[in-house]
Structure 1
Amino acid sequence: MFEDFVLKELDVAGIRTRVRYGGSGPAVVLLHGHPRTHTTWYAVAPRLADAGFTVVCPDLRGYGGSGKPVTDADHTPYSKRAMAAEVVGLMEVLGHQRFAVVGHDRGSYVAYRTALDHPDRVAKLVVMDGVPVVEALERCGSEFAAAWWHWWFFAQSAKPAERVICADPETWYEAWTKNTPQALGPENHADFLAAIRNPATVHAMLEDYRAGIGIDRHNDEADRAAGRRIECPTLALWSTDDDLERLYGDPVEVWRSWCHQVEGHGIKSGHHMAEQAPEELANSLSAFLG
């Protein structure tokens, strides 16, 4: 897995960041979603490296082997603004002042926040299986609430989710039914298992959701009110066998009011397209980023 890539733990502004990187050429950082780690990109990252990119795959703050800072009442350490600043800091440590950023699921929120807050650093943006946080919350209806009920469960301040998940994380995350070694790949699955078995990681992943419905929404609202938009070219990708189109219609139209330049298309896949459709995904990324 990740042949010819380097795996390190780096200090980024006092927070440990676990990261794997390889290749040469223009830099692109790949940001995973919940509850994955950077190893979800194991079949995509080498293809991008072969296509002529320097590929950087970190564990997001709180996820996998990365640091898990103590939270506060507003969940500020797990805001996408804080995570985005850490992405920029990581790329500085690795010597990249300007780079493309690709994010899937929760990672898509970090990716677009990086582009909004650091337009001088982000050359291109790819968002996968996501729309801006405030758009998701404002468009929330009964169908979304029924399908994505875990958003509200994860966000409860009394922390029932930690107790439920940590009692049997492998069943909660379907580690031996849907998310099997065969589906994820053996080494990716082993990394996924190590993450979900760690109560500190589970808590930090839930802090991501708590920030999502509070401080992240407020930051989106403030940016929208101020007329801030994503400056760089943007690509929206979505899994056609998932529910993004059913919930929001054409995702490109949702992103259009947030971006100066956006295009997009669906990929025939379930939600975790990096694992289920890696070749088509890598081809789409290479064509856009090249």
Structure 2
Amino acid sequence: MMFDGFSLEIVKLADATLRVRHGGAGPPVLLLHGHPRTHTTWHRVAPILARHHTVICPDLPGFGQSSVPADAWESAGSSKRAKAGICVALMHRLGFDRFAVAGHDRGALTAFRMAMDHPASISHLVEIDGIPVLEHLERCDSRFATEWWHWFFFAQPDKPERAINVDPQAWYGGSAEAMGRENFEDYQAAISSPHVVHGMLEDYRAGLTIDRRHDAEDRARGLRVECPTLVLWSLRDDLERLYGDVLAIWRPWARHLQGRGIDSGHHVAEEAPDLLAKAILDFLA
């Protein structure tokens, strides 16, 4: 049974309504999924972490069964700053004033923004398959544009929704065998909702506009992540191949940095859960 012993609830906050799974006992750790997954992508990792920690897994705003932010100029409601504030409010509602956060893919961007904007709340930061969006865009070359073309397609108005909604399963892929049956069914329900697809794409639109500006403003001010930071990347994905030394990119952004690659493809929580959970536990210990 997926997330055996965990509770599932809907939490209504001032700026969002979130579907949240939580369980375990001990120091709190918040897990943030990526695109196009929901919180159930953590179903193989969360129970391992819950042996030593209280684990909280929400659907990010705009994803899964959480509320989709209203459309706004520069997709401001889907900015990582807005989502960071919502996630901090969630943790405070659950009784945690200070906690660790781990984010994968798009969730890594929100986790980074949480550490930058709310340093008093974040004890540890784990970045999985991510670098600040500004660093992605400033390093954009023909390889990035060829392999990550979807960033720019997703940022266009209307057209990506029309393309994806014709056949979401063909667009996004995935299988019950690889993901686990319940996780796959939850994911299928999300990508089959045009409303959710729009919310997920707004995350990318914000990335190319307001998120980029927030990163640039923070860099100009000399701000850095002050808490201990662990950066992990999938060795069978393309982050290291595109950028070489991933930690070199992170050093100007994080004061207390460590990291390494993990032998996995992109969806590491599903493909290498034991390796990922051990890396997180060792870091938090």
Query: TM-score, normalization: structure 1?
Result: 0.97
CA RMSD of aligned residues (A): 0.6
User: What is the deviation of 1:14?
Assistant: 4.0
Q: What pairs up with 1:73-84 in 2 under 5 angstroms?
A: 73-84=73-84
How far, CA to CA, are the matches of 2:128 and 2:141 in structure 1? 22
Residue 41 of structure 1 corresponds to 42
How far, CA to CA, are the matches of 1:57 and 1:171 in structure 2? 27
Residues 40-76 of structure 1 show CA distances to partners (whole Å, capped at 9, x for unaligned) of: 00000000001x1000000000000000121112100
Confirm whether residue 263 of structure 1 aligns to residue 276 of structure 2: no
Confirm whether residue 135 of structure 1 aligns to residue 135 of structure 2: yes
Residue 93 of structure 1 corresponds to 93
Residue 231 of structure 1 corresponds to 226
Residue 255 of structure 2 aligns to a residue whose secondary structure is coil
Residue 12 of structure 2 aligns to a residue whose secondary structure is strand
Residue 162 of structure 2 corresponds to 163
4+ runs deviating over 2 angstroms: none
User: What is the deviation of 1:250?
Assistant: 1.3
Q: What pairs up with 1:54-203 in 2 under 5 angstroms?
A: 54-157=54-157, 159-174=158-173, 179-203=174-198
How far, CA to CA, are the matches of 1:27 and 1:207 in structure 2? 29
Structure 2 portions without partners, runs of 5+: none
Residues 246-280 of structure 1 show CA distances to partners (whole Å, capped at 9, x for unaligned) of: 11111111110001110000000000000000001
Residue 233 of structure 1 aligns to a residue whose secondary structure is strand
How far, CA to CA, are the matches of 2:190 and 2:151 in structure 1? 19
Equivalent pairs, count: 284
Residue 24 of structure 2 corresponds to 23
Residue 232 of structure 1 aligns to a residue whose secondary structure is strand
Amino acid paired to 1:53? H
Residue 280 of structure 2 corresponds to 285
Confirm whether residue 240 of structure 1 aligns to residue 232 of structure 2: no
Percent identity (aligned): 55
Residue 218 of structure 1 corresponds to 213
Residues 187-226 of structure 1 show CA distances to partners (whole Å, capped at 9, x for unaligned) of: 0000000000000000000000000000000000000000
User: What is the deviation of 1:155?
Assistant: 0.1
User: What is the deviation of 1:15?
Assistant: 1.5
CA contact (8 A) 2:68 2:196 kept: yes
Residue 65 of structure 2 aligns to a residue whose secondary structure is coil
CA contact (8 A) 2:32 2:39 kept: yes
Amino acid paired to 2:64? G
Residue 200 of structure 2 corresponds to 205
Amino acid paired to 1:184? M
How far, CA to CA, are the matches of 1:88 and 1:78 in structure 2? 15
How far, CA to CA, are the matches of 1:248 and 1:173 in structure 2? 25
How far, CA to CA, are the matches of 2:148 and 2:28 in structure 1? 34
CA contact (8 A) 2:15 2:86 kept: no
How far, CA to CA, are the matches of 1:105 and 1:74 in structure 2? 21
Residues 83-134 of structure 1 show CA distances to partners (whole Å, capped at 9, x for unaligned) of: 0000100001100000000000000000000000000000000000011000
User: What is the deviation of 1:153?
Assistant: 0.4
